[in-house]
């Protein structure tokens, strides 16, 4: 059982708002007319002490990038890994090579996570279509050698890794030069371009009709076997709502469906007074009667809130208020009195 690392009177919320799809089945195939844009990454903030911002094109030691791996509970989650680029290497191609199971970079990955691209797979070629904002990846034939139950996780890991990089909104997959229209084992439909519309770690709220639902992606907390905290994004199908932001908050208040492996990041009596997006800033005003001015707020709560709101709104920064106050400080003495930008690299775990 994961233990909470904060106390009641400082508990706040973390939410992630995902744009409403125009087709109820859009999360299960690429048959949707609305693409989900990746988050903007031109930021200056940090999470867990890791540098943030765009991937350093020089690939100098100390640079980082985010790749998506599978944790010990079967969830696909972002992990920050060190980046060093060789001559003529791109960050995207290097990321894919690091995601090959038992590959050349296995020693750089956290112990409780596994790479999902099948062992022995080579990236035969990588191209970026700037006009279409699409990453085109050509894998060797070993890519088709995986277990059926891993198929969707493989698609999610590749799609979310590449679309986290600047300028990439879609992904095309090929094997030995042949463009995939579906995945080769369980026939997950691709039909050209993969986007974040596929969601991640899909689940359905109780009593919801999938054909008349909307997705909200929520950040919950988890821990490694060594008690390191990290974030897990979960896309949950919920009843359609006029406000995706408030629908997401309702689900955060309800907590994770898997309470054994994931921990809630908000107490049920914290209320959302208002969420407003204006001029590139999304402002959230929380009401917590137990909060006292000057109390330090858990860093992971505020980090998750910023990640969540910038993930799927059009805003670059987040202004957080508690009981109308903006003079907030986390447990690391970091000020949140001004709008805060999205951290690019999260879950910097020990390898």
Q: What tens digit of pLDDT does each residue of 246-291 get?
A: 787 788 778 899 999 999 887 767 888 998 889 989 899 999 998 8
- What are the CA-CA distances from residue 105 to residues 45, 96, 119, 137, 220 (Å)? 27, 11, 12, 19, 28
Q: How many domains does the chain have?
A: 2
Please give the average per-residue pLDDT across 176-204, as a whole number: 93
Distance CA 345, CA 54 (A): 9
Residues 240 and 324 both lie in one domain: yes
Q: What percent of the chain has pLDDT over 70?
A: 81
Residues 67 and 173 both lie in one domain: yes
Last residue of a domain, one of 195, 217, 249: 195
74, part of any domain: yes
Rg (the chain; Cα; Å): 20
How confident is the model at residue 343, as a pLDDT? 75
Residues 225 and 312 both lie in one domain: yes
The whole domain housing 178 covers: 52-195
Please give the average per-residue pLDDT across 81-86, as a whole number: 86
Distance CA 169, CA 136 (A): 11
How confident is the model at residue 312, as a pLDDT? 60
Please give the average per-residue pLDDT across 103-120, as a whole number: 95
What residues does 235 pair with on adjacent strands? 217
Residues 262 and 129 both lie in one domain: no
30, part of any domain: no
Least confident of 163-177, 182-196, 234-248, 299-313: 299-313
Confidence of residue 57 (pLDDT cuts 50, 70, 90): very low
- Would you say residue 229 has pLDDT above 60? yes
Residues 114 and 221 both lie in one domain: no
The answer to whether 41 and 53 have CB atoms below 8 angstroms apart is yes
- Would you say residue 336 has pLDDT above 80? yes
Confidence of residue 314 (pLDDT cuts 50, 70, 90): confident
Distance CA 216, CA 61 (A): 36
Residues 237 and 159 both lie in one domain: no
How confident is the model at residue 203, as a pLDDT? 95
How confident is the model at residue 326, as a pLDDT? 94
């Amino acid at each position: 059982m994961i233990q909470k690392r904060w106390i009641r009177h400082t508990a706040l919320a973390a939410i992630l708002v995902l744009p409403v799809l125009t087709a109820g089945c859009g999360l299960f195939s690429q048959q949707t007319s609305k693409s989900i844009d990746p988050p903007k990454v031109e930021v200056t903030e940090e999470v867990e002490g890791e540098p943030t911002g765009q991937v350093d094109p020089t690939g100098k030691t100390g640079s980082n990038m985010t790749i998506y791996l599978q944790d010990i509970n079967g969830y696909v989650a972002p992990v920050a890994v060190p980046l060093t680029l060789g001559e003529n290497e791109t960050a995207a191609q290097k990321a894919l090579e690091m995601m090959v199971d038992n590959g050349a970079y296995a020693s750089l990955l956290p112990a409780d996570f596994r790479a999902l691209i099948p062992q022995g797979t080579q990236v035969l070629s990588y191209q970026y279509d700037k006009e279409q904002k699409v990453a085109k990846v050509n894998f060797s034939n070993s890519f088709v050698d995986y277990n059926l139950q891993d198929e969707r996780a493989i698609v999610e890991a590749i799609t979310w890794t590449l679309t986290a990089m600047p300028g990439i909104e879609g992904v095309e997959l090929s094997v030995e030069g042949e463009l995939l229209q579906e995945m080769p084992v369980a026939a997950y439909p691709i039909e050209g371009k993969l986007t974040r519309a596929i969601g991640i770690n899909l689940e359905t709220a109780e009593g919801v009709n999938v054909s008349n639902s909307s997705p909200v992606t929520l950040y919950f907390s988890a821990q490694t076997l060594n008690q390191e905290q990290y974030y897990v994004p979960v896309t949950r199908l919920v009843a359609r709502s006029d406000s995706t932001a408030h629908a997401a908050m309702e689900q955060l208040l309800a907590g994770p469906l898997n309470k054994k492996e994931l921990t809630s990041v908000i107490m049920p009596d914290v209320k959302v007074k208002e969420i407003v997006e204006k001029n590139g800033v999304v402002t959230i005003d929380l009401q917590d009667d137990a909060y006292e001015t000057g109390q330090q707020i858990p860093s992971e709560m505020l980090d998750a809130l910023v990640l969540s709101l910038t993930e799927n709104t059009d805003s670059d920064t987040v202004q957080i208020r508690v009981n109308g106050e903006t003079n907030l400080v986390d447990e690391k003495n970091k000020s949140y009195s001004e709008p805060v930008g999205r951290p690019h690299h999260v879950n910097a775990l020990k390898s």
